[in-house]
Amino acid sequence: MSTFEEFEEKDYGKLNTHIMKRLLSLLIPHWKWVVGFLACIAIVSSLESYTTFLGARIIDAGIIAGSREAIINTVMLYGSLIIIQSAAVFGFIYLVGVLAERVRYDLRKNMFNHLQQLSLSYFSQTPVGWIMARLTSDTERLSDLMTWGILDITWAVINITTAGIFMFIINANLALIVVVMLPILIVIAFRFRTRILYHYRRSRKMNSKITGAFNEGITGVRVIKALSREDDNLEEFADLTDDMYEASFKAAWLSALFLPTVQVISAIGLGIVLWRGGLQVQVGTMTIGGIQAFVSYVTFIMWPIQDLARVYAQMQNAVASAERIFNLIDTEPDVKNRPKTVDTKTIEGDIRFDNVHFFYQKDDPVIKGLTFDVKKGEMVALVGPTGGGKTTIVNLLCRFYEPTQGTISFHGVDYMDMKLKDIQSRIGMVLQTPHLFSGSIRDNIRYGKLNATDEQIEEAAQLAGAHDFIMTFEQGYDQDVGEGGNLLSVGQKQLISIARAILAQPELFIMDEATSSVDTLTEALIQRGMERLMEGRTSFVIAHRLSTIKRADKIIVIEDGHIEEMGNHRELIQKQGKYYNLYTQQFRQELEAQYDIFNKPEPVES
């Protein structure tokens, strides 16, 4: 359960307090920088109030009294203080800039590290755009709030405090008028806070959906073009942007109304001060320099309050971002290590599925009572109709998910008693849609073993059957593959994936329909690479083309989450059951396709 589910939907006060405590905790590792810039701000703000007081002294003791010496001494002191103040301004701008980058770095690092720990189910259920928005725009917003926002708040508080002290020194009666105005401004801020936060939350939620739409629109552009979905996509995108515009407009309108309200009250207070102060100057209970300084101090108080209002409006937006970031960080992985684990140092050996059940959703079983054994070094083929549960079995084997009921064991040890890393680091996979990372072919193969030499990389490519096509490129192994490997064909990407798996030397190998999207010649190359990789290793193969799994030691026919048949190719053909029907049907389709190609009539010339 997320931390934020503990709060009622409209209990914003407790929620804000909780979030702000967590945000402030981000500054603890950098407390020296925080102390540094707060000290610089205190110096700047205090000196600003004191130099205003010196201005009153120049008017009263110097200009009105006609004392040249007082003017010279005061101006010299004023100049010295300005130099100190300028140095302090440089200090806090530099320190807060560095602090902002450190906080931003920490947030992104913590989120990215946490994402590596989350289970596959999280990424299956969470749009990529939502995650990207947390790592980018929300992180920027929070780091700015935690640095420049704190700077503005500190500046405002110190300005108000020092100005208030000097106002009471000059005239306590006028100072009380200003003090009375402060609760009014606080009440106004409280009335605005709930509604601003509500609309900013809506805006951020819609922004995540828009980012997701951008991501899908770019990554799926070929499908969109092929199906002529541009107009439909534009219409859906327009609906999303309209909703975000409405939420953002209301939040912006409330924020804009907030500041003028503060300004009107400030103007009323300043008018009262000028009227009362003018009367006191006339009767001699207040000097001209004093009222001039007092008016400046009123401005010192009113403008910081407006700054606080501005920061407060930004804070409402940042709280919504923080809520989403902390929701991500607080998400617990569905699959994680138990408190006590067994260090087996290997997963080689017999594998057993014992009465395994699995549910993606409650009351909707995907795997039902699966029981089978695999001997060390055997090749197991999983066949059956789409949606029968073949890929789910592989995901369970890799412990991307865990059985809802039953056990999976390696050489007699329940794999839930083993460390996740010990299992997954010893498994090699080649998927139906292979993924290559941006960079060179060499870098992508080396991903299987980061400390591999160039000789080992080339040897793995030769074993996989990829070396010949790699050398046809002008740059050979240094050829760039493009984003996601889009500069290579599907077959070439598969061969590189196999080379990567060979280099990793996995103890258990899994191939998920790796030949379903390639031509016959490429399929033969991939099969040859697979044979070299699977030699002497326990392996699981999912294949639609049944010709690729004839040599399997064990063929398991999966349908509707349970085992229909199990045996080798010869046994299942003789049985003439499900596998026989699948095999003969596919064989017949391949023969008919070949017949159509070779017996296609020549076109008649007109």
* Residue 239 main-chain phi, psi, to 5 deg: -65, -45
The closest alpha carbon to 552, from 565, 534, 532, 576, belongs to 534
Please provide the average confidence, as pLDDT, over all residues in the chain.
79
What CA–CA distance (Å, rounded) separates 64 from 52?
17
Which range among 50-54, 147-151, 585-589 shows the weakest confidence by mean pLDDT? 585-589
Confidence band of 290 (pLDDT split at 50, 70, 90): confident
Average of per-residue pLDDT across 319-331: 83
Q: How far lies 561's CA from each of 86, 374, 465, 580, 583, in Å?
A: 73, 18, 35, 19, 20
Helix axes 31-57, 68-117, angle to 10 degrees: 160
Confidence band of 351 (pLDDT split at 50, 70, 90): very high
What CA–CA distance (Å, rounded) separates 242 from 270?
42
Please give the pLDDT value at position 152: 81
Helix axes 454-464, 520-534, angle to 10 degrees: 120
Confidence band of 517 (pLDDT split at 50, 70, 90): low
Q: Is the pTM of this model over 0.75?
A: no
Identity at 64, one-letter amino acid code: I
**Domains, in order of start, for the chain:** 14-330 (1.20.1560.10), 340-425+544-599 (3.40.50.300)
* Residue 488 main-chain phi, psi, to 5 deg: -115, 160
The residues near 347 (Cβ < 8 Å, ≥ 6 apart) are 410, 411, 415, 418, 422, 423, 426, 427, 507, 508
Q: How many residues does the chain have?
A: 606
Specify whether the CB–CB gap between 96 and 41 falls below 8 A.
Answer: no
Average of per-residue pLDDT across 158-176: 82
Please give the pLDDT value at position 67: 66
Average of per-residue pLDDT across 167-180: 81
What CA–CA distance (Å, rounded) separates 137 from 130?
11
Q: How far is CA 186 from the centre of its chain?
A: 36
Q: pLDDT at residue 408 above 90?
A: yes
Please give the pLDDT value at position 4: 46
What CA–CA distance (Å, rounded) separates 552 from 572?
12
SS3 513: coil
Confidence band of 484 (pLDDT split at 50, 70, 90): confident
Of 524 and 43, the structure prediction assigns the larger pLDDT to 43
Of 445 and 266, the structure prediction assigns the larger pLDDT to 445
> In a 10 Å sphere around its CB, with 0-12 CB exposed, 13-18 middle and 19+ buried, how is residue 329 labelled?
middle
Q: What is the pLDDT of residues 531-553, one digit of tens each?
A: 777 777 888 988 766 666 778 88
Q: Which residues pair with 357 in a beta bridge?
A: 405
The closest alpha carbon to 241, from 214, 207, 198, belongs to 207
Q: Which residues pair with 364 in a beta bridge?
A: 361
Kindly write down the DSSP assignment for every residue of 178-195, as one continuous string: HHHHHHHHHHHHHHHHHH
Alpha helices in 171-287 (DSSP H): 172-219, 221-226, 230-283
Q: What is the pLDDT of residues 352-406, one digit of tens each?
A: 999 999 988 777 788 988 999 999 888 899 988 888 888 889 989 988 888 989 9
Average of per-residue pLDDT across 175-192: 75
What CA–CA distance (Å, rounded) separates 172 from 489?
82
SS3 551: coil
What CA–CA distance (Å, rounded) separates 515 from 497?
12
Please give the pLDDT value at position 406: 92
User: Which of 182-186, 423-427, 525-529, 540-544 reaches the highest mean pLDDT?
Assistant: 423-427
Which range among 38-42, 290-294, 314-318, 592-596 shows the weakest confidence by mean pLDDT? 592-596
The closest alpha carbon to 457, from 445, 444, 472, 465, belongs to 445
Kindly write down the DSSP assignment for every residue of 289-358, as one continuous string: HHHHHHHHHHHHHHHHHHHHHHHHHHHHHHHHHHHHHHHHHHPPPSS---SS-B--S---S-EEEEEEEE
Average of per-residue pLDDT across 441-462: 90
